[in-house]
Amino acid sequence: MGLLLDSRPGWSILRENEQSYELASAAVRPQVQNGQVVFAPDIGLVGWRLENAKILDPVGLVSPESLPYHRNRQRFEVVFPQIVREQQPDWVFSRSIYLAGFLQDPWFTQHYTPVYERQELLGQAGSVVVYRRR
């Protein structure tokens, strides 16, 4: 049974990802103004909580402007530094593991400041972080 749980996470573990983005959205919701652009990989939950924001998703499900960035992405790259640099969203939501390259980029640290972080049980995915454009 333990082996099965290790190879196929249960519903509660999968739901933790949703809960993490919901808590992050709720934490910054009072600061997000109508029409601001929110870069977020979990478009459903973040978009639902921040209903007056414009969602920019890295996959291109609701943001076709993201699709050209897929051509130049690195293997396993989920959040593209180029799209954030060029589109300059007001908010960036992500798992910390996907922002490792950003945090070494002086441009990102000059233009964005961390406003939320919550450590998760899903250690391999890192914490949920939110950055705001200065």
CATH of residue 67: 3.40.50
- The pTM assigned to this predicted structure is 0.81
Per-residue pLDDT tens digits of the chain, which is 134 residues long: 444 444 444 444 456 777 888 899 999 999 999 999 999 987 887 888 999 999 998 877 888 888 787 777 766 666 778 889 999 999 999 888 888 778 888 999 999 999 999 876 555 567 889 999 99
The number of domains in the chain is 1
pLDDT at 1: 45
Supply the range of the domain harboring residue 36: 2-133
Q: Give, rounded to a whole angstrom, the gap between the first and last alpha carbons of the chain.
A: 49
Tokens 């996907």 belong to: 98
pLDDT at 11: 44
pLDDT at 9: 47
